[in-house]
Amino acid sequence: MSGVNRRILVTGGAGFIGSHLCERLVRSGEDVLCVDNYFTGTRANIAALIGDPRFEAMRHDVTFPLYVEVDRIFNMACPASPVHYQHDPVQTTKTSVHGAINMLGLAKRTRARILQASTSEVYGDPREHPQAEPYWGHVNPIGPRACYDEGKRCAETLFFDYHRQHRLEIKVARIFNTYGPRMHPNDGRVVSNFVVQALRGDPITVYGDGTQTRSFCYVDDLVDGLLKLMDSPGDETGPVNLGNPVEFTMLQLAELVLTLTGSSSRIVKAPLPADDPKQRRPDITRATKLLDWKPTTPLEEGLKPTIAYFRLALGLGPARSIHAPRAAAGTP
């Protein structure tokens, strides 16, 4: 994505992934409007951009209409961890559904191309492995995770209906587990949980027997994929899986975190949460063919700057390696 004086709206732009996306867009020469209600996002995530003439931040909740002039929209707004999206499940559903309606309405008025940050959670506890985009999923519509899972599924429905009915240029990315600097220390996701517990010397909590799997994509790789999807030909709507197909068990992740942190924490077991998927791995064939994209950061290498970030965030002093976002020359 190259700067041509486009005005790019990023909802949820002060969040974990959104803030990295805003940085990449600004550094590639785009004018960026970051919109966030700061429920899970923080001003600290975008502090380095404040004062840049190409960047503007606005406090706003996407469940209410927004009247701005933009050329492209990245709809990233929604709590994405169980701790946060289950805190107020009704509001989570509103953010996904009402937020999608409001952003699609804005895109319709301005004729902006719009990308929806969907999620691997649309596949639920999958009965197909790995998960490819044609798979419809296995989701409990009345369970404790449904506010997020079904909210995102409904948002996808709205995007495709606006595309068919109003000929909007849409892009739908299904994001799999992403990690990196600026994750919230208390978001309840497995990478942040394990790293924070290890750094504090607390027991590392592994749910179930630890054999359930996840695939972890470093945030820089994920942002590469989002930018490439937004720039793909207009008739390519997606959905497109974006994630790392290399699969790890929870026990493997816990042991790797212990090694990299040098922690003496012990691993303890706890009951598996309701509707927690037992396997999660993306089939990225479509992303590879359509976008010429695949993640390049091994888990061990991505965990190093992530751990360094959490050392500082927890007030444990500087670490050997601190994440530095890639220069604009590396932006697709």
Partners of 204 in the beta sheet? 267
Contacts (Cβ under 8 Å, ≥6 apart) of 184:
16, 40, 42, 81, 84, 192
Bin 210: left if φ > 0, else alpha if -120 < ψ < 50, else beta.
left
Q: Token digits for 122?
A: 């649309």
CA–CA gap between residue 97 and residue 104 (Å, rounded): 11
Q: Token digits for 222?
A: 């994920």
CA–CA gap between residue 219 and residue 301 (Å, rounded): 12
In terms of DSSP H, where are the helices of 128-200? 146-166, 190-200
Q: Token digits for 281?
A: 């791995």
CA–CA gap between residue 128 and residue 131 (Å, rounded): 6
The single residue of 85, 123, 148, 218 carrying the catalytic annotation is: 148
Q: In what helix (H) or strand (E) does residue 92 lie, and over which residues does it extend? A: helix 89-110
Partners of 9 in the beta sheet? 33, 73
Q: Catalytic annotation on 148?
A: yes
Q: For residue 176, give the nearest of 209, 218, 128, 127 by alpha carbon.
A: 218
Q: In what helix (H) or strand (E) does residue 268 lie, and over which residues does it extend? A: strand 267-270
Query: CA-CA distances (angstroms) from residue 208 to 127, 129, 136, 264?
Result: 19, 20, 26, 22
CA–CA gap between residue 245 and residue 37 (Å, rounded): 32
Sheet holding 113-119, edge to edge: 55-59, 31-36, 7-11, 72-75, 113-119, 170-175, 240-242
Enumerate the active-site residues: 148
